[in-house]
């Protein structure tokens, strides 16, 4: 694991996070989650939208029982999908906690602004979740500048993070919202960071990442993969990331990034420039509007 990042509420954000979305969405995630914790991950990122919170909870319980990892050493994130009529965000979080057999989550995020007609009202309900002790910290995901501006009116609490799709193909388009966050102490965090390798396999970055990985491998005297190069790039940008895999060897690969040398400025700028030649966004099509 990388050194945890201090958040604006005084808590610490451990990373990388192991995500229970993408390929695990709607599946039994108990074995992958417990395997990830056994491998060394301490941050589990889940969501109501992923429809597998109960199995995430079983995976956490298994790791606590079998590996002796105390709950206090784990950081659990979940995300608000929507608030049903007559309910509150706290009601939905209590349901998630029952599913996961947890007393609290470390971080509760508004998953997507488009699902909420009254963002300021929802954010007040998120603040209530924190006040009730259901969530230690609160933040957002997929929020544009205008969404952040809306919830930050009237002296509201500042979100600790904004989790966004972040990789070289959206880096240029992400600059306005990242700059806004940096000015206000909101940590940008990434999902979809390996998109150039998984969803744009023949894109302009493919040969660049291969070449950098091969050169770094020779210099380090050990294999360094294109995925690790992308993770080093995100690390260089100061953007902690969530990743996922069902393969134990990949878990070790992703955690090993913490011990690799930093990406050079030259390689960082090369990835920036080549990534800017194409735009590929896959998860929230309205984000850049």
Task: State how far the alpha carbon of 132 is from the alpha carbons of 93, 94, 127, 129, 159, in Å.
Answer: 11, 11, 9, 5, 17
Q: Assess whether 180 carries a catalytic annotation.
A: no
CA separation for the pair 193, 170 (Å, rounded): 10
Beta bridge partners of residue 13, listed in sequence order: 5
CA separation for the pair 71, 73 (Å, rounded): 5
Helix (H, G, I), strand (E, B) or coil at 47: coil
Task: State how far the alpha carbon of 289 is from the alpha carbons of 96, 131, 177, in Å.
Answer: 31, 33, 11
- What the block records as the tokens of 28 is 């039994």
- What the block records as the tokens of 124 is 């007040």
111 known ligand binder = yes
Q: Tell the burial category of 260 from Cβ atoms under 10 Å away from its Cβ (0-12, 13-18, 19+).
A: middle
CA separation for the pair 154, 110 (Å, rounded): 19
Q: Which of 50, 169, 241, 254 is catalytic?
A: 50
CA separation for the pair 208, 98 (Å, rounded): 46
The residues annotated as belonging to the active site are: 50
Task: Please enumerate, by residue number, every residue annotated as part of a binding site for substrate.
Answer: 111
């Amino acid at each position: 694991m990388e050194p945890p990042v201090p958040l604006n509420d005084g808590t610490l954000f451990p990373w990388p996070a192991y995500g229970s979305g993408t390929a695990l969405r709607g599946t039994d995630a108990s074995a992958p989650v417990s395997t990830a914790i056994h491998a060394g991950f301490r941050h589990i990122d889940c969501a109501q939208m992923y429809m597998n919170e109960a199995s995430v909870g079983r995976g956490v319980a298994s790791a606590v029982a079998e590996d002796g990892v105390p709950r206090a050493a784990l950081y659990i994130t979940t995300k608000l999908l929507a608030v049903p009529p007559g309910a509150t965000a706290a009601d939905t979080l209590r349901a998630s906690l029952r599913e996961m057999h947890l007393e609290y989550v470390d971080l509760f995020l508004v998953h997507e602004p488009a699902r909420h007609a009254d963002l300021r009202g929802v954010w007040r309900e998120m603040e209530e979740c924190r006040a009730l002790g259901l969530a230690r910290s609160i933040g957002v995901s997929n929020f544009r500048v205008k969404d952040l501006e809306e919830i930050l009116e009237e002296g509201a609490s500042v979100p600790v993070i904004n989790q966004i799709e972040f990789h070289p193909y959206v880096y240029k388009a992400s600059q306005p919202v990242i700059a806004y966050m940096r000015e206000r102490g909101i940590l940008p965090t990434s999902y979809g960071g390996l998109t150039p390798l998984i969803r744009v396999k023949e894109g302009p970055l493919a040969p660049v990442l291969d070449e950098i990985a091969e050169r770094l491998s020779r210099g380090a005297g050990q294999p360094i993969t294109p995925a690790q190069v992308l993770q080093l790039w995100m690390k260089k940008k100061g953007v902690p990331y969530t990743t996922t895999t069902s393969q134990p060897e990949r878990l070790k690969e992703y955690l090993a990034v913490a011990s690799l040398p930093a990406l050079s400025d030259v390689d960082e700028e090369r990835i920036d420039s080549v990534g800017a030649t194409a735009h590929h966004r896959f998860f929230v099509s309205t984000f850049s509007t």
